[in-house]
Structure 1
Amino acid sequence: MTDPVLELLRSRPDLAELAAFPFNFDVDRAHHVEEVHLASGATLEPIAGDDTGGTYFLSGGTAVLHASSDGYASLVADSVGDALQMLVRLPWWCEELSAGMDEEALLDAVRRADEEAREEFAPELDEQRAALISGLGLPDRSLAELFALSESATRRTEPEHVLLNSQELCAYRLEEPYRQCLRDVVLAPGREALELMRCGDPGVLTETAADPVLRAGVLRAAHHDRRAGDLPLLRALLEQEDSARTEWYEERWRAAVLVASHGRDEDVALLRSATDGQVTDGAGAVEWARAAEAGRGGPGAAPEDEFTWIELAHRQGRVEHARIALIRLLDDTGPDPDRLRRLSRALERIGDHAQAARAQFNLLSLQDTGWDRASEAYVLARLERLRGDLAAAGRALGRARAAVGADGTAPDGTVEQWHRRGLGRLVTEQHLELTLAAVEAGDTELARTTAAHARLLLDTIAAESAKKLSELSTRAKWAVAALRPHDG
């Protein structure tokens, strides 16, 4: 459904003219300087522009997002009507507005700015403002309320309204004060549960003990806010971590450190089990806890890096929070192979294959040996295929073949016996997967070309590897055979 205020602007040239000047919301400039989309995948529609090259969008169908021409984007309001109220009553020329101002201070600041605007470019400002407010039927809200709504909207830009450059996939920036602190977001449930447990709520302790994700948050919250009275609940959580023995060793380690730091003899048996025999007595428990933390910054320090909070966000189901944090990390990452590899794998785990491929492409460019280039190229091929860019996947496999000399060129001497090792099977497997994807997509030329390379690779790699790929090879063979002779 079209926003009623936007519909009025589109159908009333007189109102549209007032919105464009002096309030800089021009529905005739509803286009952006580059192709963009939302990281969340929600709908995005340009609805107006300003005279600096910036653009207003409908984000997700109703909210208004502003993107500047210099790479910043933030949520303005939850509707076009709210956005116009802010632009008309707290206009762009009012540069002295700040959080903490009360109604009187805001009114004074707007009056001073309006006086300058009347003298410099808008002598009929009062009449223009009144006509636009009346014509659009905008309600009469206090400036303090409008300013609070504006601040609230900007703080809600992440994660649902983050704008990406569609070609480079980089995120538009958001001013630091309005960025969400992912650590606070993911720790909030744990902090809340911890406080309830401290107040003696047995139901929350039972719930936390049964929920590994909530336990992770509580343990991290307790690590950063240590209290002597927490020992009984920490002991209960450690018992659960020790008995569950999940893949998340970090939680068991953290619970053991927190319990061991109290040095109680009655906890030795539990700690011996949780630490695989490293703790054998009460005094040793304290020493073990100190030593365990020493390598992570010492007691009370924050050993976690950004990936800790990203992983916890993902486990909590906050996929968009995790995605945005990873994208912004990728935007800020230079030629750092280890970090790029972590980003690529983390983005793939949350299902963002396009961003994972961006990280992987940068990682591939940093590899020095043929073996490493082939290893990272086959990963890039998989990611490009999963994102749907089959041509890019084909190019990545070409780089893998060139790196090991499978295309007839001489390798650099570091990839001997590649065909008899796991690398040969992995590269061949990606050729077969791409063949099937190309057939399904109707790209017969790519299907046949990739299948031809796959046949050569199957004859080259170890017999045991080829045997493991026999089912996939047969499917690819018959898929290509089913193509009509004149296809492509």
Structure 2
Amino acid sequence: MTDPVLHLLRTRPELAETAAFPFDFDVSRAYHVEDVHLASGASLEPIAGDDTGGTYFLSGGTAVLYASSEGDAVLVADSVTEALEMLVRLPGWCEGLTADLDEEELRAVVRACDDEAREEFAPDLDAERAALIAGLGLPDRPLTELLARAEAAAARTEPDHLLLNSAELCAYRLPDAYRMCLRDIVLGPARAALERMRADGGAAPADPVARAGMLRAAQFDRRADDLPLLRALLAAECAERTERHEERGLAAVLVALHGRDEDVPLLREATSGRVTDARGAVAWAQAEDASRYGQDPAAVTDLTWADLAHRQGLTGHARTALIRMLDDTGPDAVRLRELSRALEGIGDHAQAARAQFNLLSLQDTPTGRASEAYVLARLERRKGDLAAAGRALERARAAVGSGGPPPDERTAGWHRRGLGRLITEQHLELALAAAEAGDSDLAHTTMAHARTLLGLIAKESAKRLAPLSGRAAWAVAALRKPRP
């Protein structure tokens, strides 16, 4: 359903003309300077432009997002009606509008700026404003409420309205004042849960994600009388026996810092025997705390908060944080690898491939290039770009010299190691995907390389890949062979 104000602007030329000038909302300029999309995958429709090359979008169907031609984007309103009311009553030429002003002070600022606008470019401003308000049926809200709504909308830009350049996948900028603080979002519920456990002395939650949040909250808010609940959390972590050792280690540190003899058996279990007495427990915990934990939330990497947000079901928040981190990451191989794996973990294969492509470009050994190239192939395939996956596998083959002598003695024997199996597996996966997509050329070419690789790698590795090899071979055989 079209927003009623947008429908009026599209069907009433006189209203559209006034909205375009002097209020700079021109529905005849409903296009942007480059292809963009929302990271969330929600709908995005350009509805108007301004005289600087910026664009107003319907974001997610109803909200209004503004994107400048210089790479900034912010949510401005929850509806077109609200956006027009703001633009008409708090126009862009008004500077100095801040949330600490009261109603009369805001009106004074607007009057002063309007006086300048009348002198410089809009002599009929009062009549144009009145005509647009009446014609569009805009409400008459206090200016303080309008400004508060604008500020609240801007603060909701992330994660649902994060705008990306479609070609490069970089995020549009957002002022720091409106950027979400993932740490606070993750810790908010955890702090409340910790306070409840402190108040009622209840059992540790069965949910490991809830325990993880509570342990992080306790890490930054340490109290002498928390030992009983810390013991309960540590006991639950030990009983869980998950592959996630980070929370168990943190819980052990928080308990061990108290230095109680009665905690030694539990600490011995939690630390695989590293703690054997109370005095040693304190020394161990102090060293671990200094090197890995501490009491400063700002010292914890954003990757940790993104991981916990994803585990809490806040995938959009995690994605936003990881994309922002990737945009800010230079030629740092360690960080790029972490981001690639984290983005793949939340299912954003396109952004993971962006990080992986940059990581691959930093490799200076054949083994490194082969190892990162097959990962890139996996990500490109999962994001749906089969041709790019084929190019990545070509780089992997070139790095190890498959079918010929290795280009570097450090890659000698690659086919007998895990690297050979992993590269072969990605060839089979791509051949199968290409066959399912009906891409005969890519399917047959990739399968031919896969057969060569199957003849090179260790027999045990080829045996493990036999089921996948069979499926790929049947799928490719069903396709018509490409003409020579």
TM-score by length of 1: 0.96
Question: Which residue does the alignment assign to 1:201?
Answer: 200
Question: Which residue does the alignment assign to 2:412?
Answer: 416
Contact 1:382 1:393 in 2 (8 A): yes
What is the deviation of 1:485? 4.8
Contact 1:444 1:487 in 2 (8 A): no
Superposed CA offset, 1:162-193 (max 9, x none): 00011101110111110001000000111111
395 and 157 in structure 1: CA distance in 2 versus 1, 3 angstrom threshold: same
Contact 2:440 2:480 in 1 (8 A): no
Q: For 1:247 and 1:211, how far apart are their aligned partners in 2?
A: 15
3-state SS of 1:372 partner:
helix
The alignment-based identity, stated in percent, is 71
Contact 1:323 1:347 in 2 (8 A): yes
436 and 143 in structure 1: CA distance in 2 versus 1, 3 angstrom threshold: same
What is the deviation of 1:118? 0.8
Superposed CA offset, 1:286-328 (max 9, x none): 3232122122375557552111101100100000111111111
444 and 285 in structure 1: CA distance in 2 versus 1, 3 angstrom threshold: same
Superposed CA offset, 1:339-383 (max 9, x none): 111111111111111111111111111111111111111111111
Question: Which residue does the alignment assign to 1:442?
Answer: 438
3-state SS of 2:205 partner:
helix
Which deviates further from its counterpart, 141-150 or 280-289? 280-289
> Any residues of structure 2 matched to 1:93-172 within 5 Å, and which?
93-172=93-172
Q: Does 1:7 align with 2:7?
A: yes
Q: For 2:79 and 2:339, how far apart are their aligned partners in 1?
A: 35
Which deviates further from its counterpart, 17-26 or 234-243? 234-243
Which deviates further from its counterpart, 408-417 or 243-252? 408-417
356 and 413 in structure 1: CA distance in 2 versus 1, 3 angstrom threshold: same
Q: For 1:242 and 1:124, how far apart are their aligned partners in 2?
A: 74
Contact 1:296 1:303 in 2 (8 A): no
243 and 472 in structure 1: CA distance in 2 versus 1, 3 angstrom threshold: closer
Q: For 1:232 and 1:484, how far apart are their aligned partners in 2?
A: 69
What is the deviation of 1:38? 0.3
Unaligned runs of 5+ residues in structure 1 are none
Q: Does 1:351 align with 2:347?
A: yes
AA aligned opposite 2:82: D
Contact 2:250 2:293 in 1 (8 A): no
What is the deviation of 1:407? 5.6
Q: For 2:298 and 2:130, how far apart are their aligned partners in 1?
A: 54
Q: For 1:385 and 1:250, how far apart are their aligned partners in 2?
A: 32
What is the deviation of 1:418? 1.1
Contact 1:390 1:438 in 2 (8 A): yes
Question: Which residue does the alignment assign to 1:451?
Answer: 447
Question: Which residue does the alignment assign to 2:29?
Answer: 29
Q: Does 1:270 align with 2:269?
A: no
133 and 34 in structure 1: CA distance in 2 versus 1, 3 angstrom threshold: same
AA aligned opposite 2:73: A
User: What number of residue pairs does the alignment pair up?
Assistant: 484
478 and 277 in structure 1: CA distance in 2 versus 1, 3 angstrom threshold: closer
Match of 1:462 among 448, 458, 468: 458
Contact 2:18 2:128 in 1 (8 A): yes
Q: For 1:358 and 1:88, how far apart are their aligned partners in 2?
A: 41
Contact 2:234 2:248 in 1 (8 A): yes
Q: Does 1:226 align with 2:222?
A: yes
Which deviates further from its counterpart, 248-257 or 307-316? 248-257
Q: Does 1:248 align with 2:244?
A: yes
Q: Does 1:383 align with 2:382?
A: no
Contact 2:403 2:452 in 1 (8 A): no
Q: For 1:436 and 1:266, how far apart are their aligned partners in 2?
A: 58
What is the deviation of 1:263? 2.4
AA aligned opposite 2:326: L
Question: Which residue does the alignment assign to 2:57?
Answer: 57
Contact 2:64 2:75 in 1 (8 A): yes
Unaligned runs of 5+ residues in structure 2 are none
Which deviates further from its counterpart, 465-474 or 414-423? 465-474
Question: Which residue does the alignment assign to 2:311?
Answer: 315
Which deviates further from its counterpart, 435-444 or 29-38? 435-444
Q: For 1:158 and 1:353, how far apart are their aligned partners in 2?
A: 20
What is the deviation of 1:229? 2.4
Question: Which residue does the alignment assign to 2:183?
Answer: 183
Contact 1:290 1:299 in 2 (8 A): no
What is the deviation of 1:409? 7.3
Which deviates further from its counterpart, 240-249 or 46-55? 240-249
Superposed CA offset, 1:48-95 (max 9, x none): 000000000000000000000000111011100000011111110111
Question: Which residue does the alignment assign to 2:284?
Answer: 288
3-state SS of 1:209 partner:
coil
What is the deviation of 1:403? 0.6
Q: For 1:452 and 1:234, how far apart are their aligned partners in 2?
A: 58
Q: For 2:299 and 2:219, how far apart are their aligned partners in 1?
A: 10
What is the deviation of 1:469? 1.7
3-state SS of 1:295 partner:
helix
AA aligned opposite 2:310: H
Contact 1:419 1:462 in 2 (8 A): yes
What is the deviation of 1:262? 2.2
292 and 397 in structure 1: CA distance in 2 versus 1, 3 angstrom threshold: same
AA aligned opposite 1:104: E
Which deviates further from its counterpart, 222-231 or 353-362? 222-231
> Any residues of structure 2 matched to 1:78-93 within 5 Å, and which?
78-93=78-93
Match of 2:338 among 342, 357, 381: 342
Contact 1:377 1:399 in 2 (8 A): yes
- Cα RMSD (Å) of the superposition? 1.7
Contact 1:77 1:83 in 2 (8 A): yes
AA aligned opposite 2:350: A
Q: For 1:308 and 1:270, how far apart are their aligned partners in 2?
A: 26
Q: For 2:280 and 2:418, how far apart are their aligned partners in 1?
A: 45
Q: For 1:410 and 1:280, how far apart are their aligned partners in 2?
A: 51
